[in-house]
Amino acid sequence: MTLADLRKRQGIEAPEADDGHGGDHGHPSAFEYARIGVILAIITAAEIALYYIDMSRNLLIVTLIVLSAIKFLFVVLWFMHLKFDNRLFSTMFAGGFVLALALFVIVFSTLGGKLV
């Protein structure tokens, strides 16, 4: 018996077919994607420029991590559509990411070593 048959028998209405986009198809246009691409390219150029600038190491590390995080978020939220999709996907991805961070914490707190 399929789920559809079971629902029919129990008189339950099936949920709206969802391609995961949460019913709201307000996706960015091709122009917006291209604009985000330009922003990503500028951030990458900035990161490389910072590498060659003589600055405090701590400031360099913080700036590079912040810039990378911005790029990460742009790709994950816009290109991977997490911003527009069903929240279940965000939960899954965030779950994996949080577990990876937890792994970092455990490894570096138990085995020592410097993160950066």
Partner 1 sequence: MAHAETGQLETSTGIDNRKLFMWLFLASECLFFGSLIAAYLLYRGQHDVPCLGGDLSACVFPTDRTINGVEYEGIFDIPFTSVSAFVLLMSSVSMVLALAAIQRGNIRAMRIWLFTTALLGALFVGGQAFEFTEFYREGLDLDTNLFGSTFFVLTGFHGAHVTVGVLVLLSMLVWSGRGKVQQKDSLNIELVGLYWHFVDVVWIVIFTLIYLIQP
Q: Which residues bind partner 1 (CB under 8 A)?
A: 2-4, 7-8, 14-20, 27-30, 33-34, 36-37, 40-41, 44, 47-48, 50-51, 60-61, 64-65, 67-68, 71-72, 75-76, 78-81, 86, 88-89, 92-93, 95-97, 99-101, 103-104, 107-108, 111, 113-116
CA 4 to chain centre: 34
> Residue 54 CB, nearest distance to partner 1 (Å)?
14
How far does the chain reach from its first CA to its final CA, in angstroms?
56
AA identity, residue 114: K
Q: Which is nearer to partner 1, 2 or 56 (CB)?
A: 2
Compute the chain's Rg from CA coordinates. 21
Residue 56: CB minimum distance to partner 1, A: 13
Q: What is the Cα–Cα distance from 54 to 71, expressed in whole angstroms?
A: 23
